Amino acid sequence: MKKGYSFALAILSLAVLAGCNKAPEQNSTIVAQNKQAAAQENVMQEITAPVANKIPFAMTIHDDTRIDNYYWMRDDERQDPAVIAHLNAENNYTEAMLKHTESLQARLFEELKGRIQKDDDSVPTKRGQYYYSSQTRGDNEYPTYVRSSDVKGSDQQVILDVNELAKGHDYYAATGLSVSPNGNLLAYGEDTVSRRIYTILVKDLSTGKLLEDKLEGTDGDIVWANDNKTFYYIKKDLQTLLGYQVYRHTLGTSQAADELIYEESNTSYYTGIGKSKDQQEIYIFHASTSASGVSILDANDVKAHPKRLIEREENLEYSIEKLADTYYIVTNLNAVNFQLMKVHKDKAHDKANWQTVIPARDEVKLEGIDLFANHLVYKEREMGQSRLTVRNLTTGAEQQLRFNDSSYMIHAYGNNELDNPNLRVYYTSMTTPGSSYDIDLNTGDKTLLKQQQVVGEFNADNYASERLFITARDGVKVPVSLVYRKDKFNKDGTNPLLQYAYGSYGATMDPSFSSGRLSLLDRGFVFAIAHIRGSQMLGRPWYEDGKLLNKKNTFNDFVDVTKSLVSQQYGAPDNIFAMGGSAGGLLMGAVANQAPELYKGMVAAVPFVDVVTTMLDASLPLTTNEYGEWGNPNDKVYYDYMLSYSPYDQVSKQAYPNMLVTTGLHDSQVQYFEPAKWVAKLREFKTDDNKLLFKIDMEAGHGGASGRFKSLADTALNYAFILDLAGIKK
């Protein structure tokens, strides 16, 4: 830092000398500027980064001992005065270092907020006898959920006003809204801490009063049995935060009296619950990173116990949809990229009875299906692009749904009724705001129900999107989605560029629209999504080639995409930025260690950076069921490999980019102490004067602040950090 300010003062001194022969008023101005700069220098000299205490903590496994000097920062209760004091010091330092961007942050916040339609309604979706939707009004942070007996909303009833519930809470989240089959009761989960541990409450929709039932320590979701007084829910392990027990609750009874009907003994599996579209079956879903399955209960029998469709098998994945007495099964059975099979429900227990409906293909991944009384809708992905196809189950005739953009995201949603004549879809691209369509299942005719309104002077024609394939170091071609403003883009290597990626868990980041992103594009930025290995953008093999002992492909792809975008002059070599969150934050950390010279700045949000220590600790949330993604470091092969890329362990004495790291004290996914330790170690080792800032939301968790406007302040902070480094002050 000192070198930078000395250089600034030297330039200022030359300016003063050069101004000695100017008019008196000009000399006065220069002197005033000199005093102001000197004052700023004195202020900045008083701002010092927090230096964390070093308390060696030894960890030995496989005859290898690692010394973690910052292990003391872990406080599971989040009450240790020394830890809280250190985090507050980090926040104070970040605030001081970014104080000169406050006006820019405020301007960005108003821009972001100004593009959002304050009074907004979602498109109603039918479930049972009612149409359900949500509303946001004025400056309200949260939605109000409503329903009516017709799609026009002529007799609209408020079923839950989250704004009222959130009063008095720094954080509030409502989830899992579920109305009983007769439409009289609403169950929902609430979290006021941001640990994703929910309390389930039940509201009588005829009186507006809460019932006495109150279920603690759950994942927030419930499924009603068909008697309207029984429901199923999942209870969490409060240490690991894994939902692993399924209970049956009867209204009017205490939680202590609830019946445990399923307990997951294998900690590598997640547990979920759901219900068939015909409302006749209740499902318990079992899913690890490499296998999945389902257990089934009769929704009409409140004494039923779950039965596995088939016994679970390692590396066998499947999901089911029910139509009459037939199960349609999306599975990887003899199909790397999945296939669709069907079987009579009474014969499903034997895979030999499963019959192929859509066969497996090497270059096309089957991603999912939606069933209707007379139609099958299936989603595929080929060469990185998803598509929907409608098949008439009587005639076998098919029609593929087509849209104008060359690259886009599309998915079906809200299709709750088997006899619905239309398919509801959500569609967006990097230049097309989110749009809801109803598509006639017989004719394919599309009806636009709503397109996300971008308040202000937005014109989609001002922006352009491209899809590239960039060759990585091992010859594999990596898809990249780009967007920029046409009149600001030169393709001459002068534009600042922000590159984003995730690259884990098979999660595919399709190109989609962001009104917030316009604040960057309108200032000349190019925005790129690198669809690196670890996602399923190019099918299931794309995921397998970016996990476990192939994980480094993810980092190499990101670096190689950056180099190619610079060489193709999409971005200025001295103005390249990177951003990623959670597992994408691990990506940021690995890339910062591997190729720091490529990036002027990085934003790492809730970053998973202490991979080895976390994966060795089964008491931490979401560790054991991540073994299929990262490997189990109790096995030396995985230990050695993970250690070789772990961002925290691989911090070294070198120059690092300017970095903004963010987290939430109550994060349930990536514990706050991972980025806290990482920042402390980076400060100890880095050899540069670049900014290293750490922002901790002391009230929030993994998803950041609650509320539609509060979260925009986080975005404004991230953007201001990037724009300031890019030399864009307005």
Please list the active-site residues: 582, 667, 702
For 86, 177, 560, 698, 713, the CA distances from 704, given in Å and listed in that order, are 20, 21, 30, 10, 10
Q: How far apart are CA 626 and CA 609, in angstroms?
A: 14
For 4, 86, 644, 648, the CA distances from 70, given in Å and listed in that order, are 30, 12, 20, 11
Crossing angle for the helix pair 583-594 and 552-567, nearest 10 degrees?
A: 60
Element of type H or E holding 140:
none
Q: What type of residue is 424? A: R
CA 336 to chain centre: 26
CA angle 193, 197, 201 (to 5 degrees): 95
**Phi/psi at 394 (5° precision):** -90, -50
How many other CB atoms are found less than 10 A from the CB of residue 156? 16
Contact 422, 437 (CB under 8 A): no
Q: How far apart are CA 634 and CA 383, in angstroms?
A: 37
Q: How far apart are CA 615 and CA 639, in angstroms?
A: 9
Q: How far apart are CA 586 and CA 608, in angstroms?
A: 5
Helix, strand, coil shares, percent, the chain, to 5: 25, 30, 40
In a 10 Å sphere around its CB, with 0-12 CB exposed, 13-18 middle and 19+ buried, how is residue 447 labelled? exposed
Contact 230, 249 (CB under 8 A): yes
Beta strands in 194-269 (DSSP E): 198-204, 210-224, 230-236, 243-250, 259-263
Half-sphere exposure of 487 (CA within 13 A, CB side): 5
